[in-house]
Amino acid sequence: MRTRLLRSYPSNFCVDGIPAGKECATPGRSADICLLEISLTELALKKGKTAVIVGAQWGDEGKGKIVDVLSENFSVVARYAGGHNAGHTVIINGKKFVLQLVPCGVLRAGCRSVIGNGVVLDPIAFLKEAGALRENGVKIDGNLFVSNRAHVILPYHRMIELAAENAPGRVKIGTTSRGIGPAYEDKMGRRGLRVADLLDLQLLKKHIENAVREKNMIAHALFNTEPLDADKMYTEYAQAAEKIAPFVCDTAVLLNQALNQGEAILFEGAQGTMLDIDHGTYPFVTSSSATSGGAVIGTGVAPNAINSVIGISKAYCTRVGEGPFPSEDKGDAGDNLRKRGNEYGAVTGRPRRTGWLDLPLLRYSGMINGTNWLVITKLDVLDELAEIPVCVGYKIDGKATSDVPAQASGYDKIECVYQKRSGWRTSTEGITDYEKLPKAARDYLAFVEKEAGAKVGMISTGPDRDHTILVDEFVSELKTAAKKA
């Protein structure tokens, strides 16, 4: 079966490995403009491979470290959702990096990092983060790219969110109050400002004047908030636009070009499955698509380009903010998990709620994401426990159920069914060989693997990049899938 590519390409674009300007399959015509006949089979063989990293719980699973470790095998790391409400912590040789917008691949030499169109970008926060990375010796210029289609967070988004979150009678979601939700609202309402618009100063000025007039009226009427100054805002963001411009491009073209040239891409998720706007514990969720499907709409690659989904789960469970948490432990055991796991938000510093691994939730997450592999993080946090409770099922009104409720109120009726697993009472911190784990720890991982329905391919035994166990089969498949051109 044969087809023709009818798209035009930029001058530096390669089509099926033929550089622009060179002769293509049709004699006498350049790859820039020709209708290149190409075998679909050949195209499939030459395309690069991809993997999606997704949080399998309520976020904070340690995705930053995992992306950093795995990015060694990938040419590109692309962030596809969320904003600077995400906090990915990476520790390299004892040095700590907290990334909020910039993908963790930026910490790997030779790896390009992309902020996709599904992300909402706070220009001031981005420039601050980029500046801090430069000061720490990280090479970002020429390695970091921002989508021209990403939407922009402006001060009135923060004003609206902060006022709404604290308004009397409102359901408190527990947001970071950084303007993420209102920015997505404007995006879906088709009144948002995109990065491409940010760089168009005439359009930027007009947009800010109109939006500030409207937002000031709304905020004053609903929340009695002090008005924002449109002229001051324009001056600040026009200056920011000039500094951001070198990073901006059509990242969908960049990513698809990389795939067509056989490069491997790792998609970096933010938050977690149970915070997804559609599939999470609504309304106690984030404002974007945090599941693996978000990688497609948030970057501009095709659905059939996704080869593997890697779900990240702690060996226990945590949640930040309000909302359902069936396996939460509000007692001393939960406090101990928080202390040993240093469970405080990387962005906000808020103490996380803690509890036990929830297998029904993990199975639900696996179904939604199509999880191929599981990565278990913070195994070492359980080292001191003689017994480890695990939620193996739910009961509602005394009857067993496997359903995850659609309504947040439905979780109030859930009773967790726990099974206690033997602890190992010895340190696993820093272990890098699976066989050196205590037998009880290996039994715990095997139990999770069997019940979750996905193989455990990687275990994190500490905060540092090197505190990692990689299972041979996972490494073999990853190297095959992520082989660089």
The residues annotated with a catalytic role in the active site are: 60, 88
Q: Identify the bridge partners of residue 420 per DSSP, sorted by sequence position.
A: 389
DSSP 8-state symbol, 30: B
CA–CA gap between residue 292 and residue 455 (Å, rounded): 17
- Token pair in block for residue 344: 């405080």
Question: Which of the 8 DSSP states describes residue 39?
Answer: E
Residues 240, 193 contacting (CB under 8 angstroms): no
Give the list of residues 6+ apart from residue 217 with CB closer than 8 angstroms, or none: none
d(CA 89, CA 86): 10
Tokens 């087809």 appear where? 3
Amino acid at 302: A
Strands 88-92 and 76-79: unpaired
Buried b (16+ CB within 10 A) or exposed e, 320-330: bbbbbbbbbbe
DSSP 392: E
Q: For residues 350 and 451, what is the distance between their CA atoms, to the nearest angstrom?
A: 31
3 state DSSP class of 140: coil
Nearest Cα residue to 287 out of 149, 210, 420, 184: 184
* Spatial distance between the Cα atoms of 31 and 317, rounded to a whole number of angstroms: 52
Could you give the 3-state DSSP secondary structure of residue 282? Answer: coil
| C-alpha angle 310-313-318 in degrees, rounded to nearest 5 | 145
Note whether 306 and 259 are within 8 A (CB). Answer: no
The C-alpha atoms of residue 175 and residue 167 are separated, in whole angstroms, by: 13
422: which 2 tokens? 């033997």
Chain position carrying tokens 């002229």: 231
To 10 degrees, what angle do helices 439-452 and 359-369 make?
50
Q: How far apart are CA 407 and CA 109, in angstroms?
A: 45
Query: What Rg, from alpha-carbon coordinates, does the chain have?
Result: 23
Per DSSP, what are the bridge partners of residue 469?
459
CB atoms within 10 A of CB 217: 11
Query: Beta partners for 464?
Result: 91
Cβ pair 311, 54 in contact under 8 A = yes
